[in-house]
Amino acid sequence: MLPLAMPAALILNLVLLSVLAAACGGGPRGQVMSAVEASDLELAIHRYERYREDEGADPGLLAQVAALLLEDAAAGDDEGARRAALAQLGLAGTAGRESLRRLAQPGREPVLRARALELLARGGDGGAKDELRALLDAERWEILAAAVSVLDGQSDEALLLAYLEHPAEAVRRVAARKLAEAAPAGAIRAALAEAARVDPSPAVRAAAATSLGAFGVEGFRMLEERLGDPESRVRLAAVRALVRADRAAALSVLGPLLDMAPSPAGIEAARVLAGGARQAGDEVPEGHVEGETLARAYLRRALEVSAPNLRSQAAVALGSLEGVADLGAVLIAAAESEEDPQVRLGIATILARDETTADKGFEVLGEIMRGEDLPAVSAAAFLAREDVAEATPRLEALMASSEANIRRVAARALARDAVEPDAARGALTDEDITVRISAAGGILAALNA
């Protein structure tokens, strides 16, 4: 009887081993993946920690856990968290596509599905574009705005013109942006000019003005009128669009802004006058050499105004120029005298990107990094990208901040900029949802580093 009993015992043992293996999910790694596939985030994090103790850090496996966190947040009830999670999946590039595809499956909540399809379409997914076109009859404006984003400015111009008058601001804004592709059609130009002039939403007016820039000289006078718009964002869009429409003519029109007090539109105009035309290879109209000199003086003057946002914008504008012999000295002096950390950060990063002033820029960034605020996080992130050794431990320290905004930025920077996703994993259980989302996004994006 024993020879007959042995095979039965062996079979039983094999069955038991098979059951145990299944229960264990195929080993420590399989246990993590089984929790991920079951959408059990808490268990997945717990099992990853146990896996890490035995096997060491695994960025790819950790990214699976991070992706689950983002998918859960994107499908949750908190609208802000939903948008933030989708944004992080979009920023993750190829590493976020599988999650977006799962969120875009039929049967998902309709708005979530449309937003996921929109992100996939932006990444070149032709199937996502086709699925969005099929949603053009949607009644909810959030879905319709996503669908309109894949229309073609030329072949779908009639539809886009109709959507330019839709009750929902988001739909009108997308339509205005897409109609830039219809240049130089005269009927489209007139519709955009009307929207840029009378639409009640500054965002739509700015989008329409931006698109008018694609129509060249035919749209120039319409854009010139928008320099008087009561909203700064529209005026700024008009400045940029004027340059795109007719750079040489824009130099003449924008010059008078230099006689006014520094403003966002004036600083952008000064940037163009101070060097944009020559950088683009265009001819500078006779008499504008003096105007360019005045524009540079305007930008330097803007570095001394009381509004920090204007000083920061002026520093960026100066940093974009070429051929100014004392530019480095001007920015170094501004960095040494500036008291606002955010403005000083902007100046320092400009200095750090130029080999002639890089040493000073890195020195100032190192000083800023030692702070306990958002500029400190941004400085540490910049230095981490430049492989400065002190930056990574500084980001780790800033993750312990009592302020969620600082932890949020530090967690993503540690994972993505310093390429230390394992060091950022603790933020996946932070008490603040925005910190968890940002950390997960950085961990996922680190796969592309």
Distances (CA, A) of 309 to 267, 304, 373: 11, 11, 17
- Could you tell me the CA-to-CA distances from 445 to 102, 234, 411, 417, 440 in Å, in that order? 18, 33, 12, 10, 9
Q: Report which DSSP code applies to 431.
A: S
> Where on the phi/psi map is residue 90: left (φ > 0), alpha (ψ -120 to 50), or beta?
alpha
| Cis ω before 285 (30° cut-off from 0) | no
Q: Kind and range of the H or E element at 281? A: none
Unique residue bearing structure tokens 């038991």: 16
d(CA 290, CA 286): 10
Cβ(35)–Cβ(50) below 8 Å: no
Which of these, 121, 94, 124, 75, lies nearest to 134 by C-alpha position? 121
If one counts every other C-beta atom within 10 angstroms of the C-beta of residue 323, the result is 11
Residue burial 79-97, b: 16+ Cβ < 10 Å; e: rest: eebbebbbbbbbbbeebbb
Burial of 126 (C-beta count, 10 Å sphere; 0-12/13-18/19+): exposed
- Cα 288 from Cα 294, distance rounded (Å): 10
User: What is the model's pLDDT at position 281?
Assistant: 47
pLDDT tens by residue, the chain, 449 residues: 444 444 544 443 443 334 334 444 568 999 999 999 999 999 999 999 999 999 999 999 999 999 999 999 999 999 999 999 999 999 999 999 999 999 999 999 999 999 999 999 999 999 999 999 999 999 999 999 999 999 999 899 999 999 999 999 999 999 999 999 987 888 999 999 999 999 999 999 999 999 999 999 999 999 999 999 999 999 999 998 998 898 878 888 888 888 889 998 899 988 877 765 444 444 544 444 555 778 888 998 999 999 999 998 998 888 777 655 467 888 899 999 999 999 999 999 989 988 889 999 999 999 999 999 999 999 999 999 999 999 999 999 999 999 999 999 999 999 999 999 999 999 999 999 999 999 999 999 999 87
Distance CA(417)–CA(205), nearest Å, equals 36
3-state secondary structure of 171: helix
Joined tokens for residue 420: 């230390």
Residue 177: per-residue pLDDT? 97
Tell me what pLDDT residue 4 has.
42
Rg of the chain taking only CA atoms, in angstroms: 27
pLDDT of residue 295: 83
SS3 category, 197: helix
In angstroms, the Cα distances linking 94 to 85, 244, 392 are 15, 32, 25
pLDDT at 340: 92
For residues 178 and 149, what is the distance between their CA atoms, to the nearest angstrom? Answer: 7
Q: Please answer whether residues 229 and 201 qualify as being in contact, where contact means their C-beta atoms are separated by less than 8 angstroms.
A: no
Instruction: Please report the pLDDT score of residue 328 as a whole number.
Output: 84
What's the pLDDT score for residue 283?
A: 52
Which residue matches tokens 């998902």? 108
Angstrom CA distances, 165 to 65, 168, 210, stand at: 43, 9, 17
Residue-wise over 294-308: b if at least 16 C-beta within 10 A, else e? Answer: bbbebbbebbeeeeb
Are the C-beta atoms of residues 182 and 188 closer than 8 Å to each other? yes
pLDDT at 440: 98
User: How much of the chain is helix, strand and coil, in % rounded to 5?
Assistant: 75, 0, 25
Helix or strand holding residue 150 (H, E): none
